[in-house]
């Protein structure tokens, strides 16, 4: 999988790529990440990349000629993703779709964003949440991590991401490790029992419990079996 990140601040991206699983994935040739500085396509002696907005208003807008020149320098690509608070919500389902691509371009803005004409060159406009950041770099890294971890060999246990939150529309079940008791809080006995069938049932039920408690709106579209539907009704009665 090849990633290209377009940004005015490459120094925000590169350190993230030099640690942990992303670093190892690059070293093993599982992913390739190129960081392209938009300022390299700036105009004139000062490499100008932005200008004042037509119609007035605060802030500066990244010029379309600069952004498109940078973008065209890295094409072709399977997807060109423009990061914007106005975009489609980035979800696990979208991450799974993007992880099937061979070349993904992530376009990160700053200031008041890009001239609207840049949107014509994007195949997707994505948002990671209903809030405004200082720039698109954090969003680009979130998408990079969420998709890269789905690629074969990037994470140690391929079963891990099959049980992640949101894969079946539910939150993940709670996890525990040693010590078995910490400040009066004990690990649930079923997890110490060695009974794998009982552990699996407990985990399914706790995933439902967590989702009902923390993100009940997810249940409307979750993939729930007959047994889970019975548990859900029971949990709902418990309040």
Total number of residues shown for the chain: 239
And the tokens for 55? 């119609």
Active-site position among 37, 79, 96, 112: 112
Hey, which bits of the chain come out as E strands? 2-7, 32-37, 50-51, 61-62, 79-89, 103-107, 124-127, 181-182, 185-186
Peptide bond into 179 cis (omega under 30): yes
Question: First-to-last CA distance in the chain?
Answer: 46
27 is catalytic: no
- Residue 150's Cβ-side half-sphere holds a number of Cα atoms within 13 Å equal to 21
164 is catalytic: yes
Active-site position among 37, 79, 96, 164: 164
DSSP 8-class letter at 144: H
85 is catalytic: yes
149 is catalytic: yes
124 phi, psi to nearest 5 deg: -145, 145
Are 77 and 104 contacting, i.e. CB atoms less than 8 angstroms apart?
yes
Burial (CB < 10 A; 0-12, 13-18, 19+), residue 158, is exposed
Active-site position among 85, 101, 172, 174: 85
Active-site position among 24, 149, 203, 215: 149
Three-class SS state of 46: coil
DSSP 8-class letter at 75: -
What are the residue numbers of the active site? 85, 112, 149, 164
């Amino acid at each position: 999988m090849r990633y290209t990140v377009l940004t005015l601040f490459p120094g925000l991206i590169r350190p993230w790529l030099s640690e942990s699983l992303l670093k190892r994935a690059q070293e093993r040739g599982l992913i390739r990440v190129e960081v392209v500085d938009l300022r390299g396509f700036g105009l004139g002696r000062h490499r100008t990349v932005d200008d004042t907005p037509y119609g007035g208003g605060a802030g500066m807008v990244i010029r379309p000629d600069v952004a498109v020149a940078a973008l065209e320098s890295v094409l072709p690509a399977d997807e060109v993703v423009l990061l914007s608070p106005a975009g489609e919500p980035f979800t696990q389902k979208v991450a799974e779709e993007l992880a099937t691509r061979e070349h993904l371009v992530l376009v990160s803005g700053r200031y008041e964003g890009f001239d609207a004409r840049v949107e014509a060159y994007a195949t997707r406009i994505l948002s990671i949440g209903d809030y405004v950041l200082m720039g698109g770099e954090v969003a680009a890294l979130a998408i990079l991590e969420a998709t890269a971890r789905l690629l074969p060999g990037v994470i140690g246990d391929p079963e891990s991401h099959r049980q992640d939150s949101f894969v079946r529309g539910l939150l993940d079940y709670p996890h525990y490790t040693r010590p078995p008791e910490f400040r009066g809080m004990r690990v649930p006995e079923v997890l110490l029992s060695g009974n794998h069938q009982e552990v699996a049932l407990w985990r399914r039920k706790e995933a439902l419990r967590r989702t009902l408690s923390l993100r009940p709106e997810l249940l409307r579209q979750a993939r729930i079996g007959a047994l889970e539907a019975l548990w859900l009704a029971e949990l709902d009665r418990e309040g």
